[in-house]
């Protein structure tokens, strides 16, 4: 799931309080375990956050009462985008690029997920087709 999406939420600790922000991201799967790469403005809250971070993506189908989520817990690292062609290979291409020059990765120590499925309906047809 992480490979096929580009927007998620990062949770960080700032001044002993958790904060959550939407971010563009890209999963990085080179010769090492997967990382989550993102860009942000230098000096902003995400850039100044502690090393402990969580990252989540999800998709919910309200009509079918189904969905999924993926949670990554890990360590937040600053990255020099010019080292090892990182910029060319792993740019998460944020929607608002202006001055987002702080490059970060989350190095996971835990990746978990959840699949939410609706129980099978008692009816052999979907009632939504008649509404």
Q: What is the CATH number of the domain that holds 102?
A: 2.30.110.10
Structural domains of the chain, count: 1
Q: How big is the chain, counted in residues? A: 131
Provide the residue range defining the domain that includes 75.
Answer: 2-130
pLDDT 10s digits, 92-124: 565 556 666 778 889 999 999 998 887 766 556
> What pTM did the predictor assign?
0.77
The C-alpha atoms of residue 4 and residue 114 are separated, in whole angstroms, by 17
The C-alpha atoms of residue 11 and residue 50 are separated, in whole angstroms, by 10
SS3 95: coil
pLDDT 10s digits, 1-25: 888 888 999 999 988 899 999 998 8
Q: Across 25-130, where does the E strand assignment appear?
A: 26-28, 35-40, 52-61, 66-79, 102-116
Among residues of the chain, what percentage have pLDDT more than 70? 73
């Amino acid at each position: 799931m992480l490979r096929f999406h580009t927007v998620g939420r990062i949770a960080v600790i700032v001044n002993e309080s958790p904060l959550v922000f939407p971010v563009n991201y890209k999963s990085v799967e080179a010769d090492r375990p997967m990382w989550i790469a993102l860009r942000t403005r230098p000096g902003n809250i995400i850039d100044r956050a502690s090393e402990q971070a969580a990252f989540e993506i999800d998709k919910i189908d309200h009509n079918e009462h189904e969905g999924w989520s993926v949670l990554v817990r890990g360590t937040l690292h600053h990255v020099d985008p010019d080292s090892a062609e990182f910029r060319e290979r792993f740019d998460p291409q944020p929607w608002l690029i202006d001055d987002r020059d702080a490059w970060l990765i989350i190095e996971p120590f835990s990746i978990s997920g959840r699949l939410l499925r609706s129980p099978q309906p008692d009816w052999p047809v979907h009632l939504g087709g008649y509404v």
